[in-house]
Amino acid sequence: MVSSPDVIDPVRVVGRYALYGEIAAGGMATVHFGRLLGPVGFSRTVAIKRLHPQYAKDPEFVSMFLDEARLAARIRHPNVVPTLDVVATQGELFLVMDYVQGESLSRLIRAARDRREPIPLRIVAAIMSGALQGLHAAHEAKNERGEPLHIVHRDISPQNVLVGSDGVARVLDFGVAKAAGRIQTTKEGQLKGKLAYMAPEQIGGQVSRQTDVYAAAIVVWEALTSQRLFSGENEGQILSKVLGGFVQPPSAIVPDLPVALDEIVLRGLAREPAHRYATAREFAIAIERCVGVASSTEVGEWVEAVAHGALASRAEKIAEIESSSSANLHPGLDVGKTSVTSLPDPPVSTASQLSSISVSKSALPARSRTPLLLTAVASVLALGVGGTVVGLMMHKAPAEAAPAPTSHADPTPSASATVETPAASVSATPPATATVTETATATVTATAVHTAHVHAPPPHPTATHAPQKNCDPPYTLDEKGHKIWKPECM
């Protein structure tokens, strides 16, 4: 697949984040794929909301936005997309959030309507119960001194409820929404935002947690019916319907819905805040008790089925971004692979001219020694001495001793590895020996560790008769792993 350049190549680097292609766009900002560029190669995929210039250039908005974003970072709950960072640079504002693989509830409602399939009731209940629990966590958030922050979202809508493929519903954009709410009521008397989800008192400039409860009730109504509650050809018509207060029960649109659920939704839509649920959690509990909730697995499977194409495309883009980011952050590094220098062949021509193979004091790890010894044995066997008993011994010479002759083994080896051939093919000629010392010409360098000295049993005579039946193997091992040769096998 050939991807567009804005997906693979970062548009720009903002602080410690790389900004990639757009995920979505709205009236206040665009949301981009992003990548945290951490130290020592650490990286993480994030979502970065980039505010439109007209907001970023307003000093009052910038001040409130930064303040509210810091407050939003105090909200810690599984049903809230966490705010990770805020970046203000070069006259622009960026809100960094956790990236969640999922789809907004607005798109899921639209997809269900296009398929002419209502969202299953228990799945609606699970999504909205989760969103309401996240709202309650925001309403209850406190500062570091334990004082209530009185956070109100002010912009609850299907666009700001994200349903992950993990089946968890999460609320978005606390910091942005509250900052935008202040601007809405202070800038030249203009009203900005989503009129169709505003409580009557919010239009008059009064907000509380019941304002969010009202907006959430509208979202529940629309998820149950797959229709808009307050719609119109222009803002005037929408505003008139909002202030008029007439609301049909959901069962008037979908007859199969239980009447008890109508009562729950209409209570959340009461015109007077005092007549609504006192908390978002109370609203969530009422929904759960009325119809029950689907498991997160059921919700996740439904999201995957309804939004499969969009999720697959996004997952592919994320994989490309992460691959590209890894390559750019670690040039020339092939993760998971280690460069290994092969052991050079010993400079010998015949078995009688075997030279020692040296291992430097930055010795190989214990697990690496056996393959090295076996490699040396294989080299000796390849030189035509396969018909003899080959002993491969590692020697630790005294520091003051002169280099040992290459044609003799040290009489007191510290370790040995012996490979035997059947007695029928063994001659009486003394075995050829390859000695591993510190004085040979070929050197293998590895990670520095201390070499453990293992005392091997003394040399044994060459076998002159066929082994007995109980000579397989012809040795036993003591408690330290040393070989003890069976007398009857000698």
Quote the pLDDT of residue 196. Answer: 93
Q: Give me the pLDDT at residue 175, please.
A: 62
Burial readout 67-106 (b: 16 or more C-beta within 10 A, e: otherwise)? ebbebbbbbebebbbbbbbbbbeeebbbbbbebbebbbbb
| Residue entry with tokens 């009557």 | 200
Domain 5-327, CATH: 1.10.510.10
Cβ contacts of 389 within 8 Å, gap of 6 or more = 418, 419, 420, 421, 426, 431, 462, 463
The pLDDT value given to residue 39: 79
Q: Can you give the pLDDT at residue 167?
A: 97
Q: What is the pTM of this model?
A: 0.63
Residue 266 CA: distances (Å) to CA of 219, 271, 275, 458, 480: 12, 10, 10, 93, 79
The one-digit pLDDT tens for each residue of the chain (490 residues) are 333 444 455 568 888 899 998 888 877 788 999 999 877 778 889 999 888 888 888 888 888 778 778 878 889 999 999 888 888 887 888 989 999 999 999 999 999 999 999 999 999 999 999 999 999 999 999 988 999 988 999 889 999 999 999 999 999 887 666 665 444 444 544 444 588 999 999 988 889 999 999 999 999 999 999 999 998 888 888 989 999 878 999 999 999 999 999 999 999 999 999 999 999 999 999 999 999 999 999 999 999 999 999 999 999 998 988 887 665 554 433 333 333 333 333 343 333 333 333 333 334 444 444 444 444 434 433 444 443 333 333 344 444 444 444 444 444 444 434 434 344 433 444 444 444 333 333 333 333 334 344 444 455 444 445 555 556 677 777 766 677 777 666 6
pLDDT (0 to 100) of residue 419: 38
| Closest to 218 measured CA to CA, from 241, 193, 204, 197 | 197
Domain boundaries, the chain: 5-327, 351-489
* In 307-357, alpha helices (H): 308-329
List residues with catalytic annotation: 155
Q: What is the pLDDT of residue 466?
A: 53
**Terminal-to-terminal C-alpha distance of the chain:** 68
Q: Tell me the torsion sign for CA atoms 187, 188, 189, 194.
A: negative
The whole-number pLDDT of residue 218 equals 98
E strands, 398-486, in order: 415-419, 433-436, 442-444, 475-477, 483-485
